[in-house]
Amino acid sequence: MVDIKKMLRNMRLNPRNIRFSDICKICDYYFGEPRQKGTSHRIYKANWIYPPLINIQNFKGKAKEYQVRQVLDAIDKLEEIQ
Protein backbone atom coordinates (compact mmCIF):
# COMPACT_ATOMS: atom_id res chain seq x y z
CA MET A 1 0.00 0.00 0.00
CA VAL A 2 2.85 2.37 0.79
CA ASP A 3 4.38 1.75 -2.64
CA ILE A 4 1.03 2.47 -4.32
CA LYS A 5 0.67 5.80 -2.51
CA LYS A 6 4.27 6.71 -3.35
CA MET A 7 3.81 5.83 -7.03
CA LEU A 8 0.54 7.76 -7.11
CA ARG A 9 2.24 10.83 -5.66
CA ASN A 10 5.00 10.54 -8.26
CA MET A 11 2.38 10.27 -11.01
CA ARG A 12 0.77 13.50 -9.87
CA LEU A 13 4.10 15.33 -9.70
CA ASN A 14 5.46 14.15 -13.05
CA PRO A 15 2.97 12.36 -15.36
CA ARG A 16 5.48 12.27 -18.24
CA ASN A 17 8.00 9.95 -16.66
CA ILE A 18 5.94 6.99 -15.41
CA ARG A 19 7.00 3.43 -16.07
CA PHE A 20 4.38 1.21 -17.66
CA SER A 21 4.86 -1.43 -14.95
CA ASP A 22 4.14 1.16 -12.23
CA ILE A 23 0.91 2.36 -13.82
CA CYS A 24 -0.14 -1.28 -14.29
CA LYS A 25 0.31 -1.90 -10.55
CA ILE A 26 -1.75 1.17 -9.72
CA CYS A 27 -4.52 0.25 -12.16
CA ASP A 28 -4.59 -3.34 -10.87
CA TYR A 29 -4.95 -2.01 -7.32
CA TYR A 30 -7.74 0.48 -8.06
CA PHE A 31 -9.60 -1.14 -10.98
CA GLY A 32 -8.94 -4.88 -10.60
CA GLU A 33 -7.82 -7.22 -13.34
CA PRO A 34 -7.66 -5.78 -16.86
CA ARG A 35 -10.10 -6.96 -19.50
CA GLN A 36 -7.21 -7.24 -21.95
CA LYS A 37 -3.51 -7.53 -21.24
CA GLY A 38 -1.96 -9.75 -23.88
CA THR A 39 -0.79 -6.92 -26.14
CA SER A 40 0.95 -3.59 -25.60
CA HIS A 41 -2.38 -2.21 -24.35
CA ARG A 42 -4.17 -2.89 -21.09
CA ILE A 43 -7.85 -2.10 -20.84
CA TYR A 44 -9.60 -1.68 -17.50
CA LYS A 45 -13.29 -1.30 -16.83
CA ALA A 46 -14.44 1.60 -14.64
CA ASN A 47 -18.22 1.99 -14.48
CA TRP A 48 -18.09 5.31 -12.63
CA ILE A 49 -16.61 7.29 -15.54
CA TYR A 50 -17.67 7.90 -19.11
CA PRO A 51 -16.52 6.24 -21.31
CA PRO A 52 -16.25 3.34 -18.85
CA LEU A 53 -12.91 2.01 -20.13
CA ILE A 54 -9.37 2.98 -19.23
CA ASN A 55 -6.76 2.16 -21.83
CA ILE A 56 -3.05 2.33 -21.04
CA GLN A 57 -0.33 1.67 -23.55
CA ASN A 58 3.28 0.56 -23.26
CA PHE A 59 5.38 3.01 -25.26
CA LYS A 60 9.08 2.15 -24.94
CA GLY A 61 8.61 1.06 -21.33
CA LYS A 62 6.74 4.21 -20.32
CA ALA A 63 3.08 5.16 -20.11
CA LYS A 64 1.80 7.98 -22.28
CA GLU A 65 1.21 11.25 -20.43
CA TYR A 66 -2.43 11.71 -21.44
CA GLN A 67 -3.20 8.16 -20.32
CA VAL A 68 -1.58 8.81 -16.94
CA ARG A 69 -3.80 11.87 -16.55
CA GLN A 70 -6.87 9.78 -17.44
CA VAL A 71 -5.95 7.22 -14.78
CA LEU A 72 -5.49 9.99 -12.20
CA ASP A 73 -8.89 11.48 -13.08
CA ALA A 74 -10.57 8.08 -12.75
CA ILE A 75 -8.92 7.49 -9.36
CA ASP A 76 -10.03 10.94 -8.18
CA LYS A 77 -13.63 10.20 -9.21
CA LEU A 78 -13.50 6.81 -7.49
CA GLU A 79 -12.26 8.38 -4.24
CA GLU A 80 -14.93 11.07 -4.54
CA ILE A 81 -17.66 8.43 -4.79
CA GLN A 82 -16.35 6.49 -1.79
Q: How far apart are CA 82 and CA 64, in angstroms?
A: 27
Q: How far apart are CA 55 and CA 43, in angstroms?
A: 5
Max Cα-Cα span within the chain: 35
pLDDT in tens, 27-76: 999 999 998 777 778 999 988 888 889 999 999 999 999 999 999 999 99
- Amino acid 27: pLDDT: 94
pTM for this predicted structure? 0.88
| Contacts (Cβ under 8 Å, ≥6 apart) of 7 | 22, 25, 26
